[in-house]
Amino acid sequence: MYFSARGHEVTVLDNFAKRGLELQHGITPMEEIAPLHKRVERWEAETGHKIAFEASDLLEHRALYRLLERSQPEAIIHYAEQPSAPYSMLGLNSAVYTQHNNVVGNLNLLFAMKAHCPDAHLIKLGTMGEYGTPNIDIEEGYITIEHNGRTDTLPFPKQPGSFYHLSKVHDSHNIMFACRIWGLRATDLNQGVVYGVQTDETKIHPELCTSFHYDDLFGTVLNRFCVQAVTNYPLTVYGKGGQTRGFLNILDTLRCVELSLQNPADSGEFRVFNQFTEQFSVLELAELVRDAAADHGIKAEIDFLANPRIELEEHYYNAKHTKLLELGLEPHLLSKVLVEQLISHIQRFSDSIDPKVMIPRARWRQD
Amino acid sequence: MYFSARGHEVTVLDNFAKRGLELQHGITPMEEIAPLHKRVERWEAETGHKIAFEASDLLEHRALYRLLERSQPEAIIHYAEQPSAPYSMLGLNSAVYTQHNNVVGNLNLLFAMKAHCPDAHLIKLGTMGEYGTPNIDIEEGYITIEHNGRTDTLPFPKQPGSFYHLSKVHDSHNIMFACRIWGLRATDLNQGVVYGVQTDETKIHPELCTSFHYDDLFGTVLNRFCVQAVTNYPLTVYGKGGQTRGFLNILDTLRCVELSLQNPADSGEFRVFNQFTEQFSVLELAELVRDAAADHGIKAEIDFLANPRIELEEHYYNAKHTKLLELGLEPHLLSKVLVEQLISHIQRFSDSIDPKVMIPRARWRQD
């Protein structure tokens, strides 16, 4: 919708895998998501813009080759991956599904691009979670290392924290190689944790709303805290809450894709942008939501749960994120006012919220 | 056979995938390889040692779980991967097959170990090709980086050069994670290029011979040069021949596994050994084979082919390989005498050699 509204000719490929996973795990987004057919009709009725779509799958490489041959895209925005770390940690099947779906789907896309649109710009959704929490500054994709009197600029060492994050590291290596040997051009957007719910496009009509998750599998932390505040549940911090990560507003996510699109990578270049705007610890976010909720007349408490993940709860974290700013990103920063707006929005749907799905099911140690 | 001869109780799991690939691509090893049933019978008849085996597949996770539950191994030596870089570069199907088979098979193994033998020592065949050719010294798995005044020891950055080598990098990341979160213990043997044909065990009977490949898919460079010398074909150097790699004698490969077995990794430890004994450039090897052939009365010429791979032909290369030496490895070093012995051995089979299969089929750029 963001790109269609700006005059781009957009084709969506969707296999509806996430809706399937939602059904399997008893999860629904906070707002009902209309079928894609309906959404596309609604978008055209409201804006006059057509969005083409194809119900297909990156694992169906023949259909993918035909689509790229026919549509000759200038850019491919690749969001088509299983996106949940906790889902990938449920057990063997979900780990294998995640790595197979993500890695093979991405490989098929690289080969299809080589065959039919080798000059197209691949904009791939990565994750800041590829880096883990090293004890040195995190650079954007590469680091210059001086070692025993010699120097090279090499891929930044990765320490991903789930089978999902590992799948993204595998993708990054595969894409880097495809750029090097075939001259493809790619931008890997190592995205931080997204918060927020509405964009200018989703506001046009309820049938255009985005998928807002507060559950243990697809939910993100700030969104979940706001839902917990609204439904009078304690804000559940895992462990000590010192886990620090990069965050960004949903409004900035598509702007980052747009900036990448407007400033494509060179042929043969594998470019990495760290796509977040601010760092927070989990506890800082819980305190912010508690304070914003108080201003809104809600008394929220903070609860410290045993951490289901294996991760450092006290660590150094300083990740660079200047490249998108240099291209013109003007961040929407987090504030108490913004959290209050989010809380207000969630209150409209409080009757449909299922608090059970906020209890973490996936345990990293599984014993 | 190496471990069975030394009193270990050995169970082999084999899906015969490589024999299938040989049939598909018109390749046969230089010496005929008996079916595994026959080899196991022959081994017992000659030595009195039984080797158990199971025709199965790491992709069949249920069978794998049952095998580990029943056999309760102390160590698992994981060689069960598609091992050819050129095969992985033939096209989409071979690239996807390689990454799916290797990555998912290895994931299944990690989960099965966690379920049934979490204290077993995983000894995994990696490859020196995971590192690529960085302009700094290559360390054994990890590198200590000082950056902006802070220091951490991180996984050595990887720049693999084929979809096969990429699959090994993916495996390494997955295994490192499994060690960290589940406390598994693993040794990743980043093996160099192997040369040679006989071991003490294969010499016992012709039915126990090893699979000697000189073809474009499964052959390795020194072996191929010797076959070319014997069959009066020029030694085919790709590009300038400045590509420098680590090499080791087949006699040292299993000794390295044995040293790893005798000195297991700690619980939770992901240990990396660079398993090679000497560095050579491709051209140095061609010249060595030419000179050894001359001493043997064969006039061999060196031919420079257009390089089918994308790789640097002039580069820095200095890879550390002290950890196995510290554990007691006594390398069998390469020499003209050794090459002459190899040439003599190959001459016994010269009638069955098919020179056509030495022409490279896989092209990295594929255009």
pLDDT tens per residue, range A78-129: 999 999 999 999 999 999 999 999 999 999 999 999 999 999 999 999 999 9
The verdict on residue A255 lying in a domain is yes
Taking residue B245's Cβ as centre, other Cβ atoms within 10 Å add up to 20
**Is the CB of A137 inside 8 Å of chain B's CB atoms?**
yes
pLDDT tens digits, one per residue of B322-352? 999 999 999 999 999 999 999 999 999 999 9
A146 contacts on B by Cβ (under 8 Å)? 136
pTM of the model: 0.98
Mean pLDDT of B204-226: 96
Cβ contacts below 8 Å, chain A against chain B, sum to: 143
Contact B92 A104 (CB under 8 A): no
Contact B148 A155 (CB under 8 A): no
Measured CA to CA, the distance from residue B45 to residue A202 in angstroms comes to 75
B164 is catalytic: yes
- The residue to which tokens 């010797």 are assigned: B226
From the list A107, A182, A364, the residue facing B365 with the nearest CB is A182
Q: Residue B243: give the domain boundaries.
A: 2-358
Residue A4 has which token pair?
Answer: 């269609």
Q: Which of A87, A98, A127, A253 is the catalytic position?
A: A127
Taking residue A84's Cβ as centre, other Cβ atoms within 10 Å add up to 23
> Mean pLDDT of all residues in chain B?
97
Backbone angles phi, psi at A206, to 5 degrees: -55, -30
The letter for the amino acid at A150 is: R
Residues 146-165, chain A, touching B (beta carbon < 8 A)? 146-148, 150-152, 154-163
**Is the CB of A184 inside 8 Å of chain B's CB atoms?**
no
> Mean pLDDT of all residues in chain A?
97
pLDDT tens digits, one per residue of A269-326? 999 999 999 999 999 999 999 999 999 999 999 999 999 999 999 999 999 999 999 9
Residues 292-311, chain A, touching B (beta carbon < 8 A)? 310
Distinct helix (H) and strand (E) counts, chain B? 13, 13
The verdict on residue A364 lying in a domain is no
A317 is catalytic: no
Q: Which of B87, B131, B164, B317 is the catalytic position?
A: B164
Which one of A90, A94, A99 would you mutate to disrupt binding with B, by most B Cβ within 10 Å of its Cβ? A99
From the list B136, B162, B181, the residue facing A145 with the nearest CB is B136
Residue B37 predicted with pLDDT over 90: yes
Beta-bridged to residue B121, according to DSSP, are: B75, B185
From the list B108, B155, B166, the residue facing A157 with the nearest CB is B155
Residue B366 predicted with pLDDT over 80: no
The letter for the amino acid at A17 is: A
- What is residue B49's predicted lDDT score, i.e. its pLDDT? 98
Find out whether B313 and B240 touch, Cβ atoms under 8 Å. yes
Backbone angles phi, psi at B71, to 5 degrees: -90, -20
Domain count, chain B: 1
B136 contacts on A by Cβ (under 8 Å)? 145-148, 150-152, 154
A156 contacts on B by Cβ (under 8 Å)? 157
The verdict on residue A366 lying in a domain is no
The answer to whether the complex's ipTM is over 0.85 is: yes
Shortest CA gap B148–chain A (Å): 7
From the list A145, A154, A177, the residue facing B160 with the nearest CB is A177
From the list B92, B134, B162, the residue facing A111 with the nearest CB is B92
Which one of B103, B146, B312 would you mutate to disrupt binding with A, by most A Cβ within 10 Å of its Cβ? B103
How do beta strands A10-14 and B278-281 pair?
A: unpaired
The verdict on residue B38 lying in a domain is yes
Contact A173 B170 (CB under 8 A): yes
**Is the CB of B95 inside 8 Å of chain A's CB atoms?**
yes
Mean pLDDT of B93-104: 98
Which one of B177, B363, B364 would you mutate to disrupt binding with A, by most A Cβ within 10 Å of its Cβ? B177
Confidence of residue B124 (pLDDT cuts 50, 70, 90): very high
Mean pLDDT of A219-232: 96
- The residue to which tokens 């895998």 are assigned: A17
From the list A136, A151, A174, the residue facing B152 with the nearest CB is A136
Nearest residue in chain B measured CA to CA from A118:
B367
The verdict on residue A363 lying in a domain is no
Nearest residue in chain A measured CA to CA from B366:
A182
The verdict on residue A141 lying in a domain is yes
Shortest CA gap B104–chain A (Å): 6
Please, what is the end-to-end C-alpha distance for chain B in angstroms?
44
Can you say how many angstroms the Cα of residue A11 is from the centroid of all Cα atoms in its chain? 20
Mean pLDDT of B188-195: 97
- What is residue A165's predicted lDDT score, i.e. its pLDDT? 98
**Vertex A281: Cα angle to A280 and A283 (nearest 5):** 125
Instruction: For residue A13, give the 3-state DSSP assignment.
Output: strand
- What is residue A367's predicted lDDT score, i.e. its pLDDT? 59
Ramachandran class of A208: left when φ > 0, alpha when ψ lies in -120 to 50, beta otherwise: alpha
From the list B92, B157, B170, the residue facing A154 with the nearest CB is B157
CATH of the domain at B251: 3.40.50.720
Residue A28 has which token pair?
Answer: 């629904």
Find out whether B31 and B70 touch, Cβ atoms under 8 Å. no
Contact A135 B148 (CB under 8 A): no
A127 is catalytic: yes
User: E strands along B67-120, which residues?
Assistant: 75-78
Q: Which of B87, B98, B124, B127 is the catalytic position?
A: B127
Shortest CA gap B157–chain A (Å): 5
Residues 109-128, chain B, touching A (beta carbon < 8 A)? 111, 114
The verdict on residue B363 lying in a domain is no
